[in-house]
Structure 1
Amino acid sequence: MSEDRDRRLPTGEPARAATAEIAVGPQESGRRLTLTFEAFWATHAGKWLAYAYLHTGGREAAREVARAAYERLRRVWPHALRQASVEAYAWAVLKEEVMEWLYDRRQPTALTGTAAFAVVTHALLRECQQQFAMLESQLGLYAAISRLPERQCDVIVLRHVIGYGDAQIAALLGVDEVTVRSYASRGRRKLAAALGIDQG
């Protein structure tokens, strides 16, 4: 399935990229591509592994998904570098690999069942003490977060579990920081409404 996706990606090199390769030589150009890819992956690998773990529910499964994302992204790295946002393109690759893994195994996301998901709850409880002070069970909040619209759920998880800052989240989602804060705010309001909590 991933090979089919990769075949759909554009393969033509722009003239300036071809000129640059001739100027430095194909070997040097390849070395630079490898270095930029490895630097990018080193920056994100740990956090992406955590994201895969949240959805698959197992360490080995998370490593499998992360490896698949790594290999796919490495194969199309020159194409990724030509995108408006490398981070957003790479994030889409990771999410597709997670969704494909879940689909192939006919299983839903393990988001609400993974132990690491408790971090979201604790962070939200600290951030919104008044709104969530009356919550007796975390299970209601788990389910409510998993039902948020995709972007709002992503922001909550990326902020409170994975540990990305708003600027990094904005780059991953291909939006600005104001939009990230808006998603977070709307997500908190929807959680409060879903749990029947008066925000005052």
Structure 2
Amino acid sequence: MNTNPPHPSAPDGPSGPPLRQPVRRLALTFEAFHDTHHLLWLRYAHLHTGSRAAALRIEGAISRQLATSWPHVLRQESVPFYAWTVLKEHVANWLSAHDRPVALTETAAFDAVSRALREAQEQFAVLESRIGLYSAIAELPERQCDVIVLRFALGYDDPFIAALLGVEESTVRSHVSIARRKLAARLGIPWRE
């Protein structure tokens, strides 16, 4: 019985020709990454554009861009962070091309306020009746706004957010703490940790 692995020029095995196997592995890694992130891309694009159709177009464009440059993407220091920057670029380009402001205030008010408030427990439960919450979130510095939207409006956990933004989990927690303090001050709510 021969236990040696097949030679690269060996005839096709059960998974196809030997030279196609690396291509298939690349495709599988992209599919896995896409399956893990495409819903986030859709939700984020929808929150910022206010349009489901726009979100679908943006998600499709991101998917195509990443798929066609997947070997390059895999060489990046952080694949989630690279994809995140591509997403933000596509959203910004769509908003600019359609001469529209970020729709976070309107979209989030309908799509995510109850979820955000539940997850923020007592502090955000007080904010439920405050119409200015999402306006205040939209006015936060970009990184703090992203962390608040990802954690409270979209429901992602700190490890996922940290990987996505290319930062440490402690940085995510710091952004949340600072942003919550700013939001409480802006909305006139007494702050407590």
- Tell me the TM-score normalised to structure 1 length: 0.80
Tell me which residue corresponds to 1:64. 57
CA RMSD of aligned residues (A): 2.3
Q: Per the alignment, do residues 126 and 75 of structure 1 end up closer, same or farther by CA in structure 2, a change over 3 Å counting?
A: same
Q: Is the 8 A contact 2:84 2:165 kept in 1?
A: yes
Residue 166 of structure 1 and its aligned partner are, at CA, apart by 0.4
- CA drift of 1:121 comes to 4.8
TM-fit CA distance, 1:155: 0.7
Q: Deviations over 1:96-146 (max 9, x none)?
A: 1111111110101110001214246524662415xx73x584321111111
Q: Is the 8 Å Cα contact of residues 30 and 70 (structure 2) preserved in structure 1?
A: yes
User: Which residues of structure 1 form unaligned runs of 5+?
Assistant: 1-23
Instruction: List alignment gaps of at least 5 residues for structure 2.
Output: 1-16
Query: 1:55 is matched with which residue?
Result: 48
Name which of 140, 154, 160 aligns with 2:132: 140
Kindly indicate whether residue 97 of structure 2 is the aligned counterpart of residue 104 of structure 1. Answer: yes
**Paired AA for residue 177 in structure 1:** E
In structure 1, what is the equivalent of residue 123 of structure 2?
Answer: 128
- Select the structure that is richer in helix: 1
Residue of 148, 167, 171 corresponding to 1:175: 167
Task: Report sequence identity in percent.
Answer: 53
Q: In the alignment, residue 28 of structure 1 is paired with which amino acid?
A: Q
Q: Which residue of 2 aligns with 1:186?
A: 178
What is the aligned counterpart of 2:76 among 72, 83, 91?
A: 83
Q: How does the TM-score come out when normalised to structure 2?
A: 0.83
Which residue of 1 is the match for residue 111 of structure 2? 116
Larger-Rg structure: 2
Task: Identify if the C-alpha distance between structure 1 residues 37 and 141 changes in structure 2 by more than 3 Å, giving closer, same or farther.
Answer: same
- Regions of 4+ moved over 4 Å: none
